Amino acid sequence: MGGLNQFFKQTQRQFVRDNLMSDEFIEFLQQNRLPYDTLMAYYRCAIMEVETKFKVLNEQFSLQYDRNPIESIKSRVKSMESIVKKVRSKDIPLTLASLEENIRDIAGVRVVCSFQDDIYMLADCLLKQDDVRLIEKKDYIKNPKPSGYRSLHLIVEIPIFLHNEKRMMKVEVQLRTIAMDFWASLEHKLRYKKNIPDEEAEQLARELVACAETSAALDKHMQDIRKRIAESEEEHKDKKDLPQTMGTMMLKGRLFRN
Ligand code: GTP
Ligand code: MG
């Protein structure tokens, strides 16, 4: 009975805390609306900067090596709702400076690559740039999460240039292959299915891990095929070493790209 009482007390405390927190957050916003919106605008600028860096790299690879290491880039600024949730779960002080310091994924850029090697190549290229500072790297490709999740995560700091100041902003960059993205998207959708008995949920989680492993094997296989194509091309290069005409260059899209 004592345990039950304690449970109710705890639940009550949590309820009060959560709701107070929402009120607190609403009040915080009322007092800080403009600075909050301004900060979110800075995060959008930081996203533009990071996206541009990746687009430049993609463009250069496409010109130099005739291939695009990036399949797509998706970015987002964290919603206010998710920010409130994180403030609650991490129990961080409710000031703009503290949000900026403690929540490192307010700006998120997801880079979906063709092959696993491209992930490391692009991450290196980004981190070599002299205005990019690495804060943290989490390699969930070498060390997948227990869920089976794979991706390379970087928390970086980059400058945005405002009319009278240079401001450093944190951005979370997630680099993954198409296969890793496919798995993560579907797993994310399934994660929120509720009302499944524990035992069945555990079995499903195991199957999702197995799917992640199958998908990782597919990535390795595709990567291996690419390597063999590159080696074969290299080997037979001399035989088709004819001068390139304007026509073949245009066909290859080297001159006119949209
Ligand atoms: P968060 O508070 O969730 O941001 O945790 P964290 O700061 O420890 O970051 P973590 O390295 O766990 O990466 C968080 C982000 O990676 C999430 O917001 C997701 O986008 C992604 N992620 C991490 N684990 C999983 C997973 O198991 N499944 C899926 N679908 N995505 C995941
Ligand atoms: Mg996150």
Q: Is pLDDT larger for residue 91 or for residue 256?
A: 91
The first and second tokens of residue 114, run together, are 């063709």
Tell me: pLDDT of 250 over 80. no
Active site residues: 172
pLDDT value for 56: 97
89 domain residue, yes or no: yes
- If you average pLDDT over every residue of the chain, what do you get? 89
Least confident interval from 40-49, 111-120, 210-219, 247-256: 247-256
Q: How far apart are the first and last CA of the chain?
A: 71
Closest-CA residue, ligand 1 atom 30, reads 184
Least confident interval from 151-165, 181-195, 216-230: 181-195
Centre of ligand 1 to C-alpha 231, Å, is 37
| Average pLDDT estimate for 125-136 | 98
243 domain residue, yes or no: no
- Ligand 1 probe mutation, 75, 149, 209, most atoms within 8 A of CB: 149
| Average pLDDT estimate for 5-27 | 74
Q: Is pLDDT larger for residue 107 or for residue 249?
A: 107
Q: Sign of the C-alpha dihedral, residues 147, 153, 155, 159?
A: negative
247 domain residue, yes or no: no
| Average pLDDT estimate for 198-218 | 93
pLDDT digits (tens, 9 = 90+) for 227-243: 999 899 888 887 765 55
Domain membership of residue 141 as a residue range? 2-238
| Average pLDDT estimate for 202-223 | 94
For 211-249, letters b (16+ CB in 10 Å) and e give ebeebbeebeebbeebeeeeeeeeeeeeeeeeeeeeeee
pLDDT value for 17: 62
pLDDT value for 121: 96
- Domain count along the chain: 1
Q: Cite the DSSP H helix spans in the chain.
A: 2-65, 80-90, 96-102, 116-128, 178-191, 198-235, 246-251
- Ligand 1 probe mutation, 74, 151, 173, 182, most atoms within 8 A of CB: 151
Q: 96 Cβ partners below 8 Å, 6+ apart?
A: 32, 35, 36, 39
Q: 171 Cβ partners below 8 Å, 6+ apart?
A: 43, 46, 47, 50, 107, 108, 109, 155, 156, 157, 158
Ligand 1 binding residues, C-beta < 6 A: 105, 138, 145, 147, 149, 153, 184, 187-188
Closest-CA residue, ligand 1 atom 26, reads 149
pLDDT value for 258: 45
Q: Is pLDDT larger for residue 244 or for residue 53?
A: 53
The whole model's pTM is what?
Answer: 0.85
Tell me: pLDDT of 112 over 50. yes
pLDDT value for 214: 97
Q: Which atom of ligand 1 is nearest to the CA of 104?
A: 7
245 domain residue, yes or no: no
Of 191, 160, 159, 188, the residue nearest 174 (C-alpha): 188
pLDDT digits (tens, 9 = 90+) for 82-99: 999 899 899 899 899 999
39 domain residue, yes or no: yes
7 domain residue, yes or no: yes
pLDDT value for 151: 98
- Domain harbouring 224, CATH code: 3.30.460.10
pLDDT digits (tens, 9 = 90+) for 48-59: 999 999 999 999
246 domain residue, yes or no: no
Centre of ligand 1 to C-alpha 106, Å, is 13
Of 114, 127, 109, 117, the residue nearest 70 (C-alpha): 114
Tell me: pLDDT of 128 over 60. yes
| DSSP letter string, 118-140 | HHHHHHHHHHHSTT-EEEEEEET
State whether residue 147 is helix, strand or coil: coil
Q: Are strands 166-177 and 107-113 parallel, antiparallel or unpaired?
A: parallel
253 domain residue, yes or no: no
pLDDT value for 1: 53
pLDDT value for 102: 97
